[in-house]
Structure formats: C-alpha cells, structure tokens
Chain A
Amino acid sequence: MPSKTETLLEAVKRALGDHLVAAKQDYGEVDIEVAPAGLYTAMETLRDHDELAFAQLLDIAGVDYAAYGEDEWITDEATNTGFSRGVDGFTTGRLGLTGIYGVQPISANTGRRFAAVYHLLSIQHNHRIRVRCFAADDDLPMLDSIVPLWASANWQEREAFDLYGIVFNGHPDLRRILTDYGFVGHPFRKDFPLIGNVEVRYDENRGRVVYEPVSIEPRVLVPRVIRDDNRYADPAEGAADA
C-alpha cells in the first residue's frame, strides 16, 4: 500500500500536470515547485480539487537563495598550519556591502534567487504540502498574488515584499508591514548586512530623532561551515565510489 505522502504526490501530479516543475518527498513532507506563470492556476487547483482540498494557507516564506551552499571556512583541504582561522572575504550578510571588505557582487544563477514558499494545509484530508515558486527576474522579482484565493495571503505577501522585495502582482494593498516607516531596502536579502545600514539616535540640538549611517563594523562570531559529513552521504553514492 502506498504511503500517504505518495498518494498525495500522485494526486498532485495528476491535478497540476504541466504547471509542476519538480516534486519530491523528503522527511515525510511533500514538496513541489511550480512555474511562476502558472502559479495562480496551480494554487487554485490545489484549493478546489476534491482530492487535494487545501482550504488553508498557513504561511508564505520568502527565500533568497543567493548564498546557498557558500561557507566561510574551507574544510576540504588542510594546510600545514591547519585550517584557516579567521573569516576572510565576503560572507552571507556582507555580499554587496560596501565597507572595509570592498564590494562583492551577487552572482546568483538568474531566475533562481528569490522564491516564495507556500505552506498549505487541508483539514479535510489531514495533509500538508509545500509549494515553491521562483520569481523569473532577480532584479524585479514578481509573482502573482493569491489573495483572491486565501484571505490570509494578504499579510503574508506583504511580509515577503517587505523583507525580500518580492512584488506580488494584483495584491490589493502592497505596503511594508514589519519594518520602520520610511525604511530603505529589503532587510532579509542576503546582501543586506545584519547590522543594518542606518542607526537612530535622539539629537539634542535639533530636538528630534535622526538617522545616521551605522558606526559599528560587521563581524562573524562563529563562521559558517559546511562539512561533508559521511553520516549524511547518500548510501547509493558511497556504493558507486567503492
């Protein structure tokens, strides 16, 4: 008997047809990717199809894949002095930041940088699905709004717009939601520094709060490391090597 996720995956494949770009099941979860052009229709099918019936949109997460798989510590080769100790070069949160580290451009593969990830839940069938949709253009990431399908998408899309700059076409009220009034930039992008760009303080002389460029320097306390851990290696790959 096929497992619950397999049954769901089959049903999704049948229902979505060409809109489906990729589908997989990992960790007991169904994860699919749809093309941006067919996002609205695909989501509508997911909501209204009898076998799927995803009545609830739980969450929309913007993701910036620009620095995916980049680490700050070389681990595949050791020198005679051991591994490098400090963090040099450009790291996540410092890409594109001007300062003592210079400027590092973002070299993402075009059309694969910004994605919106939708989490859907069907309480009728008691199953979940995750839908990922990459925006086609990195400079102006744009996706269709799904507010007409789920009312809860309204604020979720506003959040993704605020934090990642993903524009949702057809959204009734696309304003910033979490950041300050008059904020510049999209803070959760990987090229936005963790320390921010401006700091605020109260100016005695002018009698108001003023914004100034940040006076602190970015730092990394624990470098980001990717270890090729053999515990997580694909057993099939290991067999091929041997």
Chain B
Amino acid sequence: MPEISSYTVNFGPQHPAAHGVLRLVLEMDGEVVRRADPHIGLLHRATEKLAETKPFNQSIGYMDRLDYVSMMCNEHAYVLAIEKLLGVRPPERAQYIRVMFDEITRILNHLLWIGAHGLDVGAMTVFLYAFKEREELMDCYEAVSGARMHATYYRPGGVYRDLPDRMPRYRVSEYHNEKDIQRMNAEREGSMLDFLEAFCDRFSGTIEEIETLLTDNRIWKQRLVDVAVVSPERALQLGFTGPMLRGSGVEWDLRRKQPYEVYDRMEFDIPVGTNGDCYDRYLVRMEELRQSVAIIRQCIDWLRRNNGPVMLNDHKIAPPSREEMKDDMESLIHHFKLFTEGYCTPPGEVYASVEAPKGEFGAYIVSDGANKPYRLKLRAPGFAHMSAMDEMAQGHMLADVVTIMGTLDIVFGEVDR
C-alpha cells in the first residue's frame, strides 16, 4: 500500500479567517502543519511608489489606508519623518492631541483585534461588544476630521484643526423617536472632550465584561494557551515589535524607551508576558487597553486646562486661514503654492517610527530636496509578524493556524502596502 507522506491545503484568499486577502499554502501531515507558506501581496497597491509622484502632504491620506484599523498611528510616523526632515516641532497642544488620538487609535485597533480573534476561535459575543464601543471612538474621529476612518488629520506642523466644542448629535428620524434621541444624545451635550471622558468612564467596565467572557473561559484557554510559543531570543530574531515582542517577555515600548511627542510626560505601565504564547499576547493587549484609557485621561486633563495653536504659523508648510486669505495677497500666494507645488525639504534621509498598536511602524524617507519624497519605505510591523507564520505554525494543528493568525493581529493593508 503506497504511503501518503503529506498533502497540501490551500487556505484563502477568500476565507473569513484569513483577515483579508491571505493565501496560505499549508503542507499537512495528517492534521499537523509541516510547513506554512503565506502568499501575500494580493492587496499590494504600491503606496510607496505612488508617494514618490506626489507632494509630501498629498500622501498622508494613503497612510490611513495602510493599516486601516490604526489609521492615525500610520499618519503619525509619516508626519514625524517629514517634520524631522524639515526640522520643525508642532505646538504643544497639537502634540497632546496627537498622543490622545494615538491612544484612541490603539483602542480602536485592539477592539477590532479582540473581536476578530474571538470570532476566529468561536466566541461571537465579544465581536458585538467590541464593535459597539468602536462606533463611539469613530465618532471622535469624525468630529475632528469629518471622516470616520481615513482621517488625514495629522499634518506636518501640527494637526488639521482644533478639537470641536460641540459633539455632533443625532436627530429625530423615522427610525428613532424623541425619547430614543434623548438617550442617544445624553453624552453628546458637551464638547468632544466631555464625550471622550464619558467614554473612558464607561470603557473600563467594558474591558471587564470582555475579560469575564474570555480570560477564564475554558474553551478560550484551551485554544490559546501554549499555542505558538515564541522565546524572547526568537522574537528578536524574527523582528517582532509591539505586543508580539512584549508577549514574549521583552520589555520594549517606543513610547517609553524612545519617547516622541509628549509621551515622556505620560504615566503608564508596560505589560509584558511570561510564556510567549497566544494567551499571554491576549493578556498583554487587554492590559494595553487599560493603559490607553489612562493616557487618554491625562491628555483630556491637560487639553482642558491649556489652550493654544494646534498648527505652526509657518505658511511654507501650513496653510494660512481662509479669513487671512480674503484680504492678504501674501497669504493667497502661500496658499496657492502650498496646495499646488507643496514644499521642498532639505536633502537627506530620515527614519521616524511610532509605537503603533501592532508594533513599530516606521517611515524612512529619502529626499533629494524636491517637493516629493525620492523614496519612501514604510516599515510595517505586520510584515515581520507575518513572515514568522511558518515558524509559529509548524507542528500545530490546522485549527491552531486560525488562532495564530488572530494573535499576529494581521491587517493586509500594511503587510502588502
């Protein structure tokens, strides 16, 4: 009788657990994975090449579309790199706003991750809980930028505009009567900061709820504990960053070790794992949610007490106000030049990175002094994590592949760029 040594399973690219467009070719020995070969690039849009043909500011919108669940963190890295080239620092208030929105983004990302991860492993409820909260945070995005997801809010020299004094409210419609609307608008009476503070007060309870559903859940633990164990040495070798690295017990967080903006003034803890398995990475991310809330609170507190500009007054890189343009010729010229030609940076090469929710997101810009980057390379954390798929999946069962994909926190927008 001929012996069948191994066979190949094609997973994706249209699989609900493929987190987008991953094609995974699995070499199986019975139900055990012998080799996993991810085929990526199905979402490759050549963002970096497109950026070479556009003035610096016009590519900020593309950054949102890379890791499309942590939009503002991507913008942040790109904008930081440009600011480094230009040698400018945004006003203090803008820095606080950026830190606050970075943390809002982290919560957005981790909520989607826990929802999708739970769904992959078989816990439907978490998904619904998480998406309900995400909606509120996207309203904050919308309040400041006008867009729920692709904000283009961070600009070189600050942020697009100051926080709104009034939160947008719901109106009575054929679907919601007066009483509903009153309830829905209860938290929206004040400014955006009031709305966000109310969210923070409530959100700790939501984290507890999610943890009650999962942390001691027997099925959840059976699926996650001791799956895809990565030692600290291997984590470094494989280029892990963010929660993937911290889950393996390496205490490394750019917000603390190489602080940017005003993170050095923030008080927060860095959670680390001990075993380096999927369960530890889950715990690390859940704790990060709590720390993010703490940081947002500190920002709200500061922003309430301090006013000031949110954008530099240098009209070579930041546009003048519409009002100024109405009666000042020079402002009109500045506006015209800025939005047609853009600005030229000094020649040079810079790398700037932020602690994005998934890990270190970096932007490397080569500039030859033109109004467009000569070369832009984006360092996506997901790319390194995805490349470890083979090593992490080897020896595990087919069902664990889905768990591993969940723990990697993959978004194909940034892996394929």
Contacts and interface: CB of A to CB of B under 8 A. Distances in A.
Contact of B48 (A117, A126, A188, A227): A188
A32 B158 CA distance: 31
A92 B52 contact: yes
Given A56-B239, A224-B372, A31 B52 contact: no
B250 interface: yes
B255 to A, nearest CB: 13
A129 B252 CA distance: 17
Interface string B318-343: 00000000000000000000001110
A38 B368 CA distance: 28
Interface stretch (B60-68, B132-140, B373-381, B400-408): B373-381
B265 to A, nearest CB: 19
A123 B248 CA distance: 14
A150 B233 CA distance: 11
Interface in B359-399: 360, 362, 364, 366, 368-372, 374-375, 377, 379, 383-384, 386-388, 391
B368 A93 contact: no
B53 A27 contact: no
B44 A179 contact: yes
Nearest to A181: B39
B360 A226 contact: no
A234 to B, nearest CB: 10
Given A58-B362, A123-B250, A222 B340 contact: yes
Contacts of B416: 178
B257 A224 contact: no
A220 B342 CA distance: 15
A150 B372 CA distance: 33
Interface string A46-83: 00000000011111010110011101000000000000
Given A151-B391, A179-B41, A222-B55, A61 B46 contact: no
B239 A55 contact: no
B181 interface: no
Interface string A226-241: 1111001000000000
A29 B241 CA distance: 20
Given A92-B52, A151-B391, A177-B40, A226 B344 contact: yes
Interface in A26-46: 26-27, 29, 31
A130 interface: yes
B53 A130 contact: no
Interface in B217-261: 234, 236-239, 241, 250, 252, 257-258
Given A27-B84, A92-B53, A59 B364 contact: yes
Contact of A232 (B44, B364, B369, B417): B369
B370 A225 contact: yes
A112 interface: no
Q: Tell me the interface secondary structure of chain A in the complex.
A: loop
B58 to A, nearest CB: 8
Contact of B49 (A61, A155, A194, A222): A194
A152 B237 contact: yes
A225 B258 CA distance: 34
Nearest to A73: B341
A69 B375 CA distance: 12
Contacts of B347: 69, 232
A187 interface: yes
Contacts of A171: none
Contact of B40 (A29, A63, A178): A178
A183 B147 CA distance: 36
B306 to A, nearest CB: 27
B197 interface: no
Contact of A154 (B345, B350, B375, B387): B387
Interface of B: 40-41, 44, 46, 48-50, 52-55, 58, 84-85, 234, 236-239, 241, 250, 252, 257-258, 340-342, 344-351, 360, 362, 364, 366, 368-372, 374-375, 377, 379, 383-384, 386-388, 391, 416-417
